[in-house]
């Protein structure tokens, strides 16, 4: 049985400074932000300087898996080191009456920890499967399995979801009391992203229909992993 971790507790580096009311401490809120995203940003220190890489990921319970090329020195620099991973969803532009009070609606997570290089072959397959399935559920068993050479060329990092913060802004414009008397439009411009219709490869062999799991992935414009919690009305 997998023991679940407690809710998020504030540590010196995850304590929010500003707008603490936007912080969420429930572990489910962390999972919701992670599960709704497709890419994260991995922050590593390489030769004493910070470097941030966009990359795909997947989650199994309280572990986040990232993968990259074994030859990617930036990605491999994270192995056994302190890293920081963020996932961000932009949900709206908040246009206020004053320029100063413009803002954005968002859901974001920041995770700190020591990334572990996955060396166990079974866990590595699990990591790759998790990342693939996170992008396109059903695709792992549909596509050809990785060869030994391909597995060797790919590395996976595991990051425990023990130290993390979540911040969510989901409200309208907040202006100075005197500015509400101004004849200036204020409000929110929602931001959405969506999958388009799947586009078959130009050299696809004849007679291959788009598989149902890909039709399902691509056929929901306006309702995606990224904005599933905020579907269009």
Does residue 110 bind ligand FAD (CB under 6 A)? yes
* Alpha carbons 187 and 183: distance in angstroms, whole number: 13
**Spatial separation of the C-alpha atoms in residues 18 and 201, rounded to whole Å:** 48
Applying the rule CB under 6 A, the residues between 156 and 185 that interact with ligand FAD are: 165-167
Q: Please choose, from the candidates 1, 12, 14, the residue with its C-alpha nearest in 3D space to the C-alpha of residue 161.
A: 14
Question: At closest approach, how far in Å is the CB of 30 from ligand FAD?
Answer: 10
Q: Is 108 in the site for ligand FAD (CB under 6 A)?
A: yes
**Residues numbered 76-95 forming contacts with ligand FAD, rule: CB under 6 A:** 88, 90
CA distances from 58 to 23, 55, 176, 212, 218 (A): 23, 10, 42, 22, 19
Strand, coil or helix: 58 = strand
Applying CB under 6 A, the span of 16-24, 49-57, 63-71, 207-215 interacting with ligand FAD comes to 16-24
Q: Is 109 in the site for ligand FAD (CB under 6 A)?
A: yes
CB of 12 to ligand FAD, least distance (A): 9
Q: Using CA atoms, how far apart are residues 166 and 42, in angstroms rounded to an integer?
A: 16
CB 99 within 8 A of CB 173: no
Closest CB 126 distance from ligand FAD, rounded Å: 27
- Based on CB atoms, which residue is closest to ligand FAD, 14 or 210? 14
| Positions that interact with ligand FAD (CB under 6 A) | 13-14, 16-18, 88, 90, 104, 106, 108-110, 165-167
């Amino acid at each position: 049985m997998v023991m679940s971790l407690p809710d998020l507790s504030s540590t010196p580096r995850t304590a929010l400074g500003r707008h603490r009311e936007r912080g969420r401490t429930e572990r489910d809120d962390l999972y919701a932000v992670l599960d709704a995203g497709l890419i994260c940003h991995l922050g590593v220190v390489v030769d004493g300087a910070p470097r941030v890489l966009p990359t795909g990921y997947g989650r199994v319970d309280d572990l986040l898996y990232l993968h990259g090329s074994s030859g990617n020195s930036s990605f491999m620099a994270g192995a056994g080191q302190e890293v920081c991973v963020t996932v961000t969803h932009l949900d709206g532009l908040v246009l206020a009456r004053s320029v100063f009070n413009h803002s954005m609606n968002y859901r974001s997570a920041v995770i700190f920890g020591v990334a572990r290089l996955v060396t166990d072959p079974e866990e590595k397959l699990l990591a790759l499967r998790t990342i693939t399935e996170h992008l396109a559920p059903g695709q792992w068993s549909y596509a050809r399995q990785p060869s030994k050479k391909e597995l060797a060329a790919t590395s996976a990092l595991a990051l425990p979801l023990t130290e993390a913060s979540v911040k969510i802004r989901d409200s309208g414009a907040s202006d100075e009391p005197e500015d509400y008397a101004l004849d200036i439009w204020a409000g929110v411009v929602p931001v959405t992203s969506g999958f388009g219709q799947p586009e078959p490869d130009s050299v696809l062999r004849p007679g291959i229909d788009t598989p149902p799991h890909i039709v399902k992935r691509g056929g929901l414009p306006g309702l995606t992993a990224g904005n599933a919690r905020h579907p269009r009305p």
